[in-house]
Structure 1
Amino acid sequence: MSMDEWVICKISGLAPQIRELEAQAVAEGFRFLTRLIAEWESGANRFDEQGECLLGVFYNGRLIAVGGLSSDPFSEPGVGRLRRVYVARASRGQNVGKALVQQLLDLASGHFRSVRLSTDTPEGAAFYLRCGFQPIQDDYATHVKPTS
């Protein structure tokens, strides 16, 4: 799969394909896409506040990755948070996740001075280090990256 075969775009409504990604995530022990869907359906979080967005990566029309950017509810104003970033297992190792995170960071730079996130896996931590994040000691975040 090459970069010119997949496209990253803003999602303004959850595609039915999100359920396929959710099933894959749950099979890997991740529940955050289940929370994404529940929060979207309840209206609790639709990534629609100032500076927020939800992006999807599509390969030949199929949703293969998703990730969101929101204001960090655990920090002061002006700090963003990467949320619900998930790449289908079959699409990993092909720069899909890195391109998705970079697009989220590019969008964040117009609204937030830094972006934080929380991951609880060694693989996630290694991935975010490769994306330029630094580890931090915080009750609500594991990594941070300035946007400028």
Structure 2
Amino acid sequence: MITPTDELAIRQISALPPEILRLEAQAITEGFRFLTRLIADWKDGSNRFDQPGEGLFGAFSNGQLVAIGGLSNDPYAGADIGRLRRVYVWRAARGQHVGKALVQRLLGYAAQNFSVVRLSTDTPEGAAFYLRCGFRPVEDDFATHVLSFSDVG
């Protein structure tokens, strides 16, 4: 649980923090394997969020990783379209605006490099969360939600 006196810091990271394994273990118990893919892709070098415009960000509470999320070029769309990926918030940190703060930081970074950001989620909770973050639903084989910076005022 994060208390109001805890300090939340969101920063771009260039290496996976050791606490990623704690987040991965919890994600697996919830039926999510995308942090396992994040770790595997990082280890084999296939995705380290290190291409132009890309970034991996962590949210840290009192120095401990409590959320993670990345931004990459969308492999299913045009060159100026980003993709939000691998966003996960530690269960005890949910409902405390950690996820929204992380997504807002990712979107601020994305706005410097992309005109649109897309994502795919397969849970009703994820869909509702992204709507609260300003995304709109989209009917697409490779995305469930989209946010266009030209629509953001």
TM-score of the superposed pair, with normalisation by structure 2: 0.94
Please name the residue that 2:145 is paired with: 143
Give every structure 1 segment of 4 or more consecutive aligned residues whose post-TM-superposition deviation is greater than 4 Å.
none
Q: Which amino acid aligns with 2:139?
A: Q
Stretches of structure 2 that go unaligned for 5 or more consecutive residues are none
Identity %: 65
Q: Specify whether residues 3 and 115 from structure 1 end up closer, same or farther in structure 2 by C-alpha distance, changes over 3 A only.
A: farther
Stretches of structure 1 that go unaligned for 5 or more consecutive residues are none
CA shift, 1:5, in A, is 1.0
CA–CA distance in structure 2, aligned partners of residues 94 and 7 of structure 1: 14
CA–CA distance in structure 2, aligned partners of residues 126 and 19 of structure 1: 27
The CA deviation string for residues 104-148 of structure 1, in whole angstroms up to 9 with x for no partner, is 000000100000000000000000000000000000000000124
Give the CA RMSD over aligned residues. Answer: 1.0
CA–CA distance in structure 2, aligned partners of residues 3 and 11 of structure 1: 24
Aligned residues: 148
Please name the residue that 2:130 is paired with: 128
TM-score of the superposed pair, with normalisation by structure 1: 0.98
The CA deviation string for residues 47-84 of structure 1, in whole angstroms up to 9 with x for no partner, is 00001000000111110000000000000110000000
Q: Which amino acid aligns with 2:140?
A: D
